[in-house]
Structure 1
Amino acid sequence: MSAPKVHVLVDGYSVLEGDGKSMRANCTCSVVEGPPHIIVDTMTAWDAEKVLQGLSSLGLQPEDISYAVATHGHCDHVGNLNLFQAATHVVGTCVSRRDVFTLHDFDSGGTVFPLFHVLQSRQTMQQSVAPVANPALLPWFVTPLRPSAEPYKLSEFVDVIATPGHTSEDVSVRVRSRHQGLVIIAGTACGTVAV
């Protein structure tokens, strides 16, 4: 198996509007070129053509994607998951393929009932997460938040790790690439900043 390469299909953005009461925002959409091929954060439902054009530029079609990962469940990250019907979907810490859900515990390495997992994650998040404004906290995105956390392995070189922060169910995709080194695809790498 060859080492993967990460491609950004569409750059994300977040801009506060002049009235200060609304913002324009969308996530970054990325592809990990494998095998397996993995798409991360599929943008809003109005961005299907951008996603399809980006895939086409790499010689890929939706049916070539083995995993579709949404780093969390907000609408700008899950809008085009329906394009990837042949893929296993990872939405935050929920893993499914069709109507089969994998009970993977991102927190402790064991399998638990998902409701308990959600409650445990929220409690752990409140106790463990500090503001990311401190650059010393950047390794938080490189390793699982807790030493006992269990990554969800997608391949020899790619796994999904719990990185609660923006939401309690946030995950990031950790890629070990021969060409690019260690790459972390985080759905939200910064918080809201008042200016």
Structure 2
Amino acid sequence: MSGLVRTEPLRGEPPLRVPGDPYSVVVLLQGYVEPEGVGEAVRADGSVTLILPRAWGPAPSHREPPPDGGEAKTTLEEAARGPILVDTGGPWAREALLGALAGQGVDPADVTLVVGTHGHSDHIGNLGLFPGAALLVSHDFCLPGGRYLPHGLGEERPLRLGPGLEVWATPGHGGQRDVSVVVAGTTLGTVVVVGDVFERNGDEDSWQALSEDPVAQERSRKRVLGTADVVIPGHGGPFRVVREGWDPETKGPGKNQQSPMVGNEDPTMH
């Protein structure tokens, strides 16, 4: 890793909350990967992250699904007005996911948008829990009932979901169609939920062996490290990105640090 950039673990156990305005980030389930028995078998599951708009609060009745008309940009922005789930873990984590959502006062029917960072089963194994949500899985965007909309997402064209909230094309690990979610304006700066662009903090010696396109993934990793203050990886705890000797005036939007506030109590959430 470049001498100008280093990483360090972000302490805290799930559910780990990072308040923000207009969006807060909650790590519901922390991904892991562990050797299983002999040989090369592993036991693994992906991280699950909740993004909550500040203005959202649990409603007494279930919300209406996103409209099925209009262009993709408008429909995505409408879907992002409610809770957004980034990855869902594997089907074996179903009860843990439901319990983690309930702990945040969120019912599966409240979730208006699910973003799957890539198509591996340990990251999108519970999509069936959210039949009323819009789905953006890799680069496929569809509305409830399976109505697919074109949107133009690419490495040079992110999808804007709201103020400081974007979906980036970050190819590499699963091929050309992986995505990450970028959340600016939190108390820790810009948080990027990356799927398996980063498996974990300190994965420099291992990520290439798991990548379908290491050249593209290296490009994606550098892009993330150039923007993120906090990275939520696919199979480990969140970590900070520390830029040594970094000029704050060149950091761009969303990089000005506020006083850190991370924990299991968030006074800004409803």
TM-score, normalised relative to structure 1? 0.73
Whether 1:5 and 2:52 are equivalent positions in the alignment is no
Deviation at 1:4, TM superposition (A): 0.6
Residues 36-75 of structure 1 correspond to what in structure 2 (within 5 A)?
36-75=82-121
State the match for 1:142 in structure 2.
Answer: none
- Do the aligned partners of 1:36 and 1:155 also contact (CA within 8 Å) in 2? no
1:77 matched to 2:123: yes
Give the whole-Å Cα distance in 1 for the aligned partners of 2:107 and 2:164: 22
Q: 1:99 matched to which residue of 2?
A: 146
8 Å CA contact retained: 1:162, 1:172: yes
Report the counterpart of residue 19 of structure 1 in structure 2.
38
Bigger Rg over Cα: 2
| Percent identity for Structure 1 against Structure 2 | 34
- In structure 1, how many angstroms separate the alpha carbons of the residues matched to 2:167 and 2:157? 9
Q: Which residue does 1:122 correspond to in 2?
A: none
> What are the Cα deviations for residues 125-174 of structure 1, in whole angstroms up to 9, with x where unaligned?
xxxxxxxxxxxxxxxxxxxxx4xx21122222311110001012110001
**Equivalent position of 2:6 in the other structure:** none
How far has the Cα of 1:46 moved from its partner? 1.7
2:162 is aligned to: 155
CA distance in 1, matches of 2:180, 2:117: 6
List alignment gaps of at least 5 residues for structure 1. Answer: 108-145
Q: Structure 1 residue 33 and structure 2 residue 79: aligned?
A: no
1:186 aligned residue: 194
Q: What is the 5 A alignment of 1:113-192?
A: 146=155, 149-168=156-175, 169-188=177-196, 189-190=198-199, 191=207
Gaps in structure 2 of 5+ consecutive residues: 1-20, 54-80, 200-206, 211-270
2:97 maps to amino acid: V
The letter for the 1-side match of 2:186 is: R
- Give, in whole Å, the separation in 2 of the partners of 1:36 and 1:166: 29
Match of 2:244 in 1: none
Contact 1:72 1:187 (8 Å CA) reproduced: yes
**Aligned with 1:54: secondary structure?**
helix
Farther-moved stretch of structure 1 (16-25 vs 166-175): 16-25
Query: Could you tell me how far apart the structure 2 residues matched to 1:105 and 1:78 are?
Result: 22
CA distance in 2, matches of 1:101, 1:10: 29
Following TM superposition, by how much is the alpha carbon of 1:179 offset from its aligned partner in structure 2, in angstroms?
2.4
For residues 65-118 of structure 1, the C-alpha deviation after alignment (integer angstroms, 9 at most, x for no partner) is 1110110000011111111122110111111112211112222xxxxxxxxxxx
The one-letter code matched in structure 1 to 2:43 is R
> What root-mean-square deviation, in Å, do the aligned CA atoms of Structure 1 and Structure 2 show?
1.7
The separation in 1 between residues aligned to 2:97 and 2:190, in whole angstroms, is: 24
- Structure 2 CA distance for aligned equivalents of residues 75 and 177 of structure 1: 31
- Which secondary structure state, in structure 1, belongs to the residue aligned with residue 162 of structure 2? coil
Partner of 1:123: none
The higher relative CO (CA closer than 8 Å, separation ≥ 6) is in 2
Opposite residue 101 of structure 1, the aligned amino acid is Y
Which is richer in helix?
1
C-alpha distance in 1 between matches for 2:93 and 2:36: 21
